Chain A
Amino acid sequence: MSKALGMRCVWSLCGVLVSALAFASMTRAEVSTDVSGSVLVFTKVVWDGPGPLDGGLTDRDTVIQIANTSNNMVHAHCFYVNGAPDFFGNPLWQVTDFSIWLSKQQPTHWVASAGRPVNPSDAFGSGGAGIDPGLIPPVPPGFTGELKCIQVDASGTPFGGNNLKGEAVIVSRSGDVSKHNAVAILANPDLAGDDPANELLLNNTPDNDGEYNSCPNELYLNHFVDGTPDPVTQQFNADDCTDDQCPIRTYLTLVPCSEDFENQIPAEVTVQFEIINELEQVFSTSTTVECWKDTRLADIDAPTGACTLNGAACTTDEQCIDALQGFCNKNSSFAVGVLGTGSAFSIISPVDLDGGVIGVAEEYHYLDDGSVARAAWNLQQTGNRFDATEELPGGPVVDTISIPDRF
């Protein structure tokens, strides 16, 4: 065999092997609630507290659960972001961060209102029992916002281990509970933590080797139409649904995928809603998410409405419930009066070159006396923001999470 032929054979064989292994090293791009990831986003964390509100049965608190799914020690840097409105109605965007350490397969939990002190002498079976993951601060009363935990290595550098999973349970003072999975952003283990390490680029897709998986291009939301009477209460408990006064409401929480914790600059994303009812009729509306948005669907395009019993002007259901005047109905594109069917399908899409959003939905099932049961669920998704905007002038969109530089 000649030298040239021999070398060609070696390099051809090498090429085949490398191609096969490179193919094998591609990761599936997704932001997921099904698997563990390197960035956990708890989209809705609430501690109403006895302070700003009335201390009544509607006050809510949140239990956070996080687990390490690997057999190695895992470190995470977590950020509470308070999206509660300030005096002018804009999100406060106050950030509090802390670190946690989880040993092999270790689960942990804490209650948002109480945090978790480090106390090795916690009683067996008490809330603090177990290996404390670190000092976790409580959130202030009136906190409504998100919790984001980023997997880091022992030095604090972001690390793409994809070892974190989490859930949040929102508990009402009435005892009602509502649970959802945290959204996990998966990392590309080969590139996560690249310089600049404090900038997490969400640009990994099936067609692009990036650091972290790109956010979804569209979110899918199946929901009951705002104000539709609960069919189960209508069927079995008509006494508590007088004149169909047992509406179902859907609340939607959205968070931009980009966040700049270093410069305290809240991200802003405008999203379009395409709403399809059971008759295949299409409606649309839009809103802007700045930092964090939690809204009743009907509030997106109808800020005011009328109480069902006396027709008085209202903005929230609580105003009508407190006045014993039913519920606050609105002429919204999400409302039963407009859509005319029991359920609808909404597609939520960021506009133009805006970044992605992730979210969670929560359904409120009311009785006519104002008592309510809530149930949360995770949204579905399609596509990714990076690939969807790659061909646009100025694209592609790369969502970025900037964490503070260490000093």
Chain B
Amino acid sequence: MSTKMGIWRGALACAAIVLAVETASARVIDPTGVTTNESSAVVLYPVLKADPADGVDTLVQLTNTSVFLTKVHCFYTNTNSHCSNSPTTICTDQDFRQVCPLGGLCIPGWIETDFRLTLTKRQPLSWSINEGLSALPLADQPGMGNPPQFNEGNIPPVAEVPFTGELLCVQVDVTTELPTDRNDLKGEATIVESPASNIEGVDARKYNAIGIKAIEGRQDPNPQVLNVGGPEAEYGVFSEATDPPRFVGCPNILTLNHFFDGAEVITHQGLSSDVFSTLVLVPCANDYLTQTANGAPAVVQFLVYNEFEQRFSTSTSVQCYRETPLSDIDTRPGPQGNDFSIFSVGVQGTITGTSRLRSVAGPNVDGYDANGILAILTEQWNSTNGIFTASANVQFQGSREQGDRITIPLP
């Protein structure tokens, strides 16, 4: 065999092996850098509610899953909108014509309040956002560890009620209070409605906080900015499915199974309930330092499939926080026109659907367009016995090429 022939045969065999391996790798799942299944360095509670007048409050649970003392820097974001001509009046896109003085507009708000606390070895904490937690359980007495650990800090109540907003907690170093690469936090939120002299009883819904995992050893010298995915990723996961393999952050697509608005679901061989859904969308990026909310709004594209495999699409935008009934995504805010929405059962003709949400990528300047989004779905079931709600975590698919940045104030 000549030298040339041998090299060619070797190259051919090599190509066959490469092809085989490449075919296999083409079917690898594209992971996302966020999770509700594992403990993480950043936990995001996208929906918090408090309204004493209606007996509504949120119970937040936060746990340190590690055996080490852990410090947490948390940020409440008050996303209440207020009337332009009555700054103390809280309004929404749906009701501002009724609640604001004549001529007033509803101005979206985004006010951040932060606090710090320590969590001892595997310590769970829970608190009501309306009351806060002025004294942590191990503030004055030591824990069981050796050396004994104490809680430091406290948790303030939310600054305004009624309150609608989110909570984000970042794990930081106990001494320097700078973001750390440990993934020790897990959390849940339970929204309970228990109004006085109620006739319908109590209602509760619960979801897991969304975790963003820190990448070990990737913390850069600028601890003020947390890079989620992107070229300088400090948070997220390594994806083998991208070309080339790289660190990725927030999901490219959110997938949610939902009932179409107004769907009549018959259970118990005769009990009828009409189901309506509300979607909360929040950006992955936040700037808590300059108190600006994510710059330009992110455009979110929806693909909606019904049970006939028929596909529809629509879009909306999210700037700092968006809570919207599904039917208001493509119709005017409020009940007007909802029957004509593509999220209406009357339009779709089937009870359930699947929606795929993709945030449109912005211009790639430095690899961070801050257009990633996360979401929570809430269903409202209206039956003859009352109105009840349930929350569900939305699922993720794929990874975005560009990343998102969370900017926090340093001590």
Residues of A whose CB lies within 8 Å of any CB of B are 1-3, 6-7, 10-11, 13-14, 17-18, 21-28, 30-36, 50, 57, 59, 61-63, 65-67, 69, 103-109, 111, 113-114, 124-127, 129-131, 162, 165-167, 169, 171, 173-181, 186, 189-190, 220, 222, 224, 230-233, 235-240, 276-282, 341-345, 347, 363, 365-367, 371-378, 380-382
Contact = CB atoms under 8 A, between A and B. Distances in A.
B124 A222 contact: yes
Nearest to B382: A175
B25 A24 contact: yes
Contacts of B356: 105
Nearest to B63: A345
Given A34-B35, A231-B57, 5 more contacts: A17-B18, A176-B201, A180-B392, A222-B124, A235-B128
Given A2-B3, A65-B352, A235-B57, A24 B205 contact: no
Nearest to B202: A373
A109 B263 CA distance: 12
A166 B256 CA distance: 9
Given A18-B21, A343-B124, A131 B309 contact: yes
A105 B401 CA distance: 24
A345 B122 contact: yes
A59 B122 CA distance: 37
9 contacts: A6-B10, A24-B28, A24-B240, A127-B266, A169-B379, A175-B271, A230-B202, A377-B206, A380-B37
Contact of A3 (B3, B22, B267): B3
Contact of B265 (A22, A63, A238, A366): A63
A24 B11 CA distance: 21
A375 B131 CA distance: 22
B315 interface: no
Contacts of A21: 18, 21-22, 25
A178 B203 CA distance: 10
A343 to B, nearest CB: 4
Contacts of A174: 201, 385-386
Given A34-B35, A36-B395, A233 B10 contact: no
B79 interface: no
Which of B311, B352, B379, B388 gathers most chain A CB within 10 Å?
B352
A373 B240 contact: no
Interface stretch (B163-171, B189-197, B358-366): B189-197
Contact of B55 (A175, A176, A232, A380): A232
B237 to A, nearest CB: 7
Contacts of B17: 14, 18
B27 A190 contact: yes
A373 B204 contact: yes
A347 B186 CA distance: 13
Contacts of A281: 144
B384 A25 contact: no
B352 A240 contact: no
Given A6-B3, A129-B349, A236-B194, A25 B257 contact: no
Contacts of B57: 231-232, 235-236
B125 interface: yes
A175 B122 contact: no
Contacts of A33: 36-37, 393, 395
B149 interface: yes
B353 interface: yes
B81 interface: no
B389 A277 contact: no
Given A235-B131, A237-B194, A24 B245 contact: yes
Given A179-B390, A373-B388, A239 B196 contact: yes
A69 B255 contact: yes
Given A181-B393, A281-B144, A343 B351 contact: no
Nearest to A19: B21
B145 A280 contact: yes
Contacts of A114: 266, 269
A240 B131 CA distance: 20
B333 interface: no
Q: Is the interface of A mostly helix, strand, loop or mixed?
A: mixed
A177 B397 CA distance: 27
Contact of A278 (B10, B28, B123): B123
Contact of A280 (B122, B198, B352): B122
Given A7-B7, A236-B57, A378-B36, A280 B149 contact: yes
B346 to A, nearest CB: 7
Interface stretch (B228-236, B284-292, B300-308): B300-308
A341 B265 CA distance: 40
Contact of B395 (A35, A277, A280): A35
B395 A236 contact: no
B6 A7 contact: yes
Nearest to A222: B61
Contacts of A175: 271, 273, 381, 383-388
A382 B38 contact: yes
Contact of B396 (A31, A34, A103, A381): A34
A7 B207 CA distance: 58
Contacts of A124: 349
B14 A105 contact: no
A107 B57 CA distance: 34
B301 to A, nearest CB: 15
Interface string B268-284: 11010100000000000
B46 interface: no
A107 B304 CA distance: 10
Contacts of B396: 34-35
Interface string B321-362: 000000000000000000000000110011111101000000
Contacts of A2: 3
A130 B350 contact: yes
Nearest to B126: A343
Nearest to A190: B24
Closest 9 CB pairs of A and B: A130-B307, A14-B14, A175-B383, A280-B143, A25-B25, A3-B3, A236-B55, A343-B126, A175-B385
Given A34-B35, A34-B37, A279-B137, A25 B24 contact: yes
Contacts of A130: 306-308, 349-352
A35 B32 contact: yes
Contacts of A342: 126
A218 B326 CA distance: 37
B241 interface: yes
A231 B127 CA distance: 9
B105 to A, nearest CB: 32
B38 A381 contact: yes
A7 B2 CA distance: 12
Contacts of A190: 24, 27
B308 A279 contact: no
Contacts of A125: 263-264, 345-346, 349-351
A178 B2 CA distance: 73
Given A130-B350, A167-B257, A25 B63 contact: no
Which of A2, A57, A129 gathers most chain B CB within 10 Å?
A129
A373 B10 CA distance: 69
A28 B247 CA distance: 13
B25 to A, nearest CB: 4
